[in-house]
Amino acid sequence: MRAFRAGFALELWIIRSNPDALMPLFTAPLFAIIFMAIVRQSGRPDLESDALMAPVLMTLLWVALQHAGTLMVGDRWQALLEPIIASPTSLASVLLGRIMSLMCFGLLSFFEVWAVGKLVFGVSIPFEHPVELFLTLVCTALAMAGLAVTFSALLVMTRNAYTFTNSTSFPLYLLGGVFVPVAILPDWIQPVSSILFVSWSSDLLRASVNEAPVESFWPRLGMVLLLGTASFAIGRVVLHYVLRRMRASGELAAA
């Protein structure tokens, strides 16, 4: 836990001196305006709440992939990886703490999107099931952190990390049901979506802002946590083998 807190505080200090990681908070309101304009132009007021929730998931995914997922790449290029690895703490725990710091900022996009909907379009996110909505957002952020650990471990030795994360984000938006519900995707691709926690999160977020009761809430929320935990576990294993290889080959600070 001490390593987690240290990583959390470290990333807060980095963000304060270099706020580039906060860029998604500037794009979330723009995406909200675009999606709301689309559903208004299409005459689908029933989709307005969905249009407001999509930018929140997009922001969390963007933070997880573009920023949290490339933390170790940046550390390696700046020759910071050696002192971090040399510290008497678990690197995975430090990394998770740093990523959770970023995810906390990503959650601020929810309030931005709510303000845009209210001030620009006169539409508020309906808080029909506030407890379910809150728990889904928190568990989604935790699962995103687990995914980011995996990406950070996989990408640390590549020279094209940002190209990879850019090309990965939009397939995840689609397969995760961020833009449209997974149920309207082709039948053959839905099993692929079911192994992505994002698809469970997007469905729960939509259900949490609708009047109908949220069916099977706890099992569905458990799937978000289970798949997110699996992502973190995979990331830890990959990180172990990647670091062992980098130590053996002397590539920790290679440009």
pLDDT digits (tens, 9 = 90+) for 48-68: 888 889 999 999 999 998 887
pLDDT of residue 58: 93
Residue 133 in domain = yes
pLDDT of residue 253: 60
CA distances from 206 to 141, 186, 203, 245 (A): 16, 20, 5, 43
Q: Is the pLDDT higher at 231 or at 10?
A: 231
Residue 170 in domain = yes
Residue 52 in domain = yes
- Name the residue range of residue 220's domain: 2-249
Residue 255 in domain = no
pLDDT of residue 132: 94
pLDDT digits (tens, 9 = 90+) for 146-205: 999 888 888 877 777 777 787 888 888 889 988 888 888 888 888 889 899 999 999 999
pTM: 0.90
Residue 72 in domain = yes
CB of 20 closer than 8 Å to CB of 177: no
**Number of separate domains in the chain:** 1
Residue 155 in domain = yes
Instruction: Give the distance from CA 187 to its chain's centroid.
Output: 26
pLDDT at 216 over 60: yes
Residue 8 in domain = yes
Residue 254 in domain = no
Q: What percentage of residues in the chain have a pLDDT greater than 90?
A: 38
Q: List the structure tokens of 209.
A: 């802002």
pLDDT of residue 255: 47
- 143 CB-side CA count, 13 A: 25
Q: Mean pLDDT throughout 229-243?
A: 89
Judged by DSSP in three states, 255 sits in: coil
pLDDT bracket for residue 109 (50, 70, 90): very high
